């Protein structure tokens, strides 16, 4: 019998894959969401199956409402419960100033980063909330230090999408605080992952890392540890909280 289940979105690589590995180590059965790269997702799943309760692959574009609803129904059917949700899936477009941003880019960025997070929160709360017969749960949203810094000259569009995540975290956290559901966020700084590959600046991570207070980029495991803490009972009095994981930046 499955004891506790966590859905991690965008878990085929990067921070999401690290969260999925940490979640299995903490005893969760993981519903591992990916959008495109099934081979990469299967490789993470093999690690989960070898390390603990294992997992289930659930393909869905988080910005597509029908696919999100289908993903949660698959989890209901295959795993029978949901205790934790990590809204990690997110995209970043190549560097741009606001004067060069068009509507198509904004629409896609907000569809994935904002609408996707809202839809997954909605489906999770419907299952977890004691108000609707659930037994409680915890949600962690993955924001970005960009929401504080603004991303001037590089990614104001992306930073503003993460600002929406901060507000969602605070607002939904208050909305369901009395219903057994905690909603928190991590706000990573510069983390060495593939998300920077299409950013349009050669060696972005290597160039920025020495300018940070700790003098280095963060690792995916350092973010995953913060996520797992927020999901855990050790964080039972935290909701609507945003934890910076930025090496002081
Ligand atoms: P990454 O290596 O590019 O991984 C992103 C993951 O999200 C991939 O598994 C990707 O899967 C998935 N994804 C993208 N769009 C999706 C969609 N519509 N539906 C479902 N899955 C989708 O990025 P990362 O650096 O690990 O970033 C993870 C999160 O951390 C993002 O929210 C990002 O904004 C945030 N963050 C990252 C940094 C950093 O410096 N790396 C800093 C602050 C915040 P597919 O390829 O299959 O689409």
What integer is the mean pLDDT of 70-86?
98
Q: Which of 28, 34, 110, 158 is catalytic?
A: 158
User: 152 with 98: CB under 8 angstroms?
Assistant: no
What is the pTM assigned to this prediction? 0.98
Q: Please report the atom of ligand 1 found closest to the CA of residue 158.
A: 34
Ligand 1 pocket, residue 190 CB under 6 Å: yes
Which CATH superfamily is 5-245 part of?
NAD(P)-binding Rossmann-like Domain (3.40.50.720)
Helix (H) or strand (E) holding 55: strand 55-59
Ligand 1 pocket, residue 34 CB under 6 Å: yes
Ligand 1 pocket, residue 230 CB under 6 Å: no
Confidence bin at 54 (pLDDT 50/70/90): confident
Pocket test for ligand 1, best of 10, 43, 217 (most atoms within 8 A of CB): 10
Domain ranges of the chain: 5-245
Q: Over the stretch 137-156, which tens digit does the pLDDT of each residue have?
A: 999 999 999 999 999 999 99
Out of 2-6, 38-42, 142-146, 160-164, pick the least confident: 2-6
User: 96 with 157: CB under 8 angstroms?
Assistant: yes
Beta-carbon neighbour count of residue 219 at 10 Å? 14
Quote the CA–CA distance of 155 and 196 in Å, as a whole number: 12
Q: Name residue 141's beta-bridge partners.
A: 87, 185
Quote the CA–CA distance of 191 and 248 in Å, as a whole number: 13
Active site residue 110: no
What integer is the mean pLDDT of 197-205?
93
Looking at ligand 1, which residue's alpha carbon is closest to its atom 19? Answer: 61
Tell me how far the alpha carbon of residue 10 lies from the centroid of ligand 1, in angstroms: 6
Tell me how far the alpha carbon of residue 164 lies from the centroid of ligand 1, in angstroms: 16
Ligand 1 pocket, residue 194 CB under 6 Å: yes
Pocket test for ligand 1, best of 85, 89, 116 (most atoms within 8 A of CB): 89
User: 140 with 231: CB under 8 angstroms?
Assistant: yes
Please report which residue ranges of 52-192 form alpha helices under DSSP H.
Answer: 65-79, 103-110, 116-128, 146-149, 156-175
Out of 1-5, 30-34, 195-199, pick the least confident: 1-5
């Amino acid at each position: 019998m499955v004891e506790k289940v966590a859905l991690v979105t965008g878990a085929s690589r990067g921070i999401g894959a690290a969260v999925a590995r940490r979640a299995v180590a903490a005893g969760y059965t993981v519903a591992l969401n990916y959008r495109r790269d099934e081979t990469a997702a299967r490789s993470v799943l093999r690690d989960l199956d070898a390390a603990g309760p294992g997992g289930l692959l659930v393909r869905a574009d988080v910005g597509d409402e029908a696919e999100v609803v289908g993903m949660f129904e698959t989890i209901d059917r295959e795993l029978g419960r949901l205790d934790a949700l990590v809204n990690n899936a997110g995209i970043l477009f190549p560097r741009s100033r606001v004067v060069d941003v068009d509507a198509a880019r904004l629409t896609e960025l907000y569809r994935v980063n904002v609408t996707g997070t809202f839809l997954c929160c909605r489906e999770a709360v419907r299952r977890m909330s004691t108000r609707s017969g659930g037994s409680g749960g915890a949600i962690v949203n993955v924001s970005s230090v960009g929401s504080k810094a603004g991303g001037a000259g590089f990614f104001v569009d992306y930073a503003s999408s993460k600002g929406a995540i901060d507000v969602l975290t605070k607002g939904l956290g208050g909305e369901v605080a009395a219903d057994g559901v905690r909603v928190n966020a991590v706000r990573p700084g510069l983390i060495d992952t593939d998300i920077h590959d299409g950013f349009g600046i050669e060696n972005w991570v290597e160039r920025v890392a020495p300018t940070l207070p700790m003098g280095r980029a963060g690792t995916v495991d350092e973010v995953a540890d913060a996520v797992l803490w927020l999901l855990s009972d050790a964080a039972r009095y935290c909701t609507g909280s945003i934890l910076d994981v930025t090496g002081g930046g």
